[in-house]
Amino acid sequence: MTEDAPPSGRDLHLHEWTRDTGDETYLISTDRARLDVDMIHEFLTHSYWSPGIPREVVIRGIEHSFCFGLYRAESQIGFARAITDYTSMAYLADVFVLPGHRGQGLGKWLVQCIVDCPSLKGLRTMSLATADAHELYRCFGFEGLVSPEAHMSRKQEMDWFRPEQVRE
């Protein structure tokens, strides 16, 4: 895994990593202009955490996050975003690799690039919520809440939330 040349003054948060397997070359990029919003929306609208999410909500989330796209050739095959202030915390959300590309270590590579990303170094906290990938994230130092009694959240029902749209 190698990171290309440091970004110019134009965008301090633009980073790219390449991985050559011999058969395929993969790219992870934080360039928001490369993102395939249609693919991201299609996946998220059938995910367990955001079934039925409107495209406009996906776009707003992308606009207000530090995004990572995973690509094979010119096709986007994965995504993740960090909701962050770049100084003290980041919350990882919407981390996925398309089903046809799983089992090759690409999800691990995506998470590794996120935790190693220069724009996120020095953060006090990086957190996430997952229903099914605890072992993946433990490999990168994530653990259950040390003081769950100190953490609080406020949930709000979303009128677009459609659990019947979840694909296995």
pLDDT of residue 7: 46
Mean pLDDT, consecutive 10-residue segments, the chain of 168 residues? 48 90 94 97 97 97 97 96 97 98 96 97 95 94 92 91 89
pTM reported for the whole predicted model: 0.90
Q: Under CATH, to which class is 2-140 assigned?
A: alpha beta
Q: Which percentage of the chain shows pLDDT scores above 70?
A: 93
| Residues 125-135: tens digit of each pLDDT | 999 999 999 99
pLDDT of residue 12: 74
- The closest of 122, 120, 128, 123 to 151, measured between CA atoms, is 128
Query: Which residues make Cβ contacts (< 8 Å) with residue 125, sequence separation at least 6?
Result: 88, 89, 90
pLDDT of residue 9: 44
b/e sequence 121-158, b meaning 16+ C-beta within 10 Å: eebeebebeeeeeeeebeeeebeeeeeeeeeeeeeeee
pLDDT of residue 59: 98
Q: What is the 3-state secondary structure (H, E, C) of the chain?
A: CEECCCCCCCCCCCCEEEEECCCCEEEEECCHHHCCHHHHHHHHCCCCCCCCCCHHHHHHHHHCCEEEEEEECCEEEEEEEEEECCCCEEEEEEEEECHHHCCCCHHHHHHHHHHHCHHHCCCCEEECCCCCCHHHHHCCCCCCCCCHHHCCCCCCCCCCCCHHHCCC
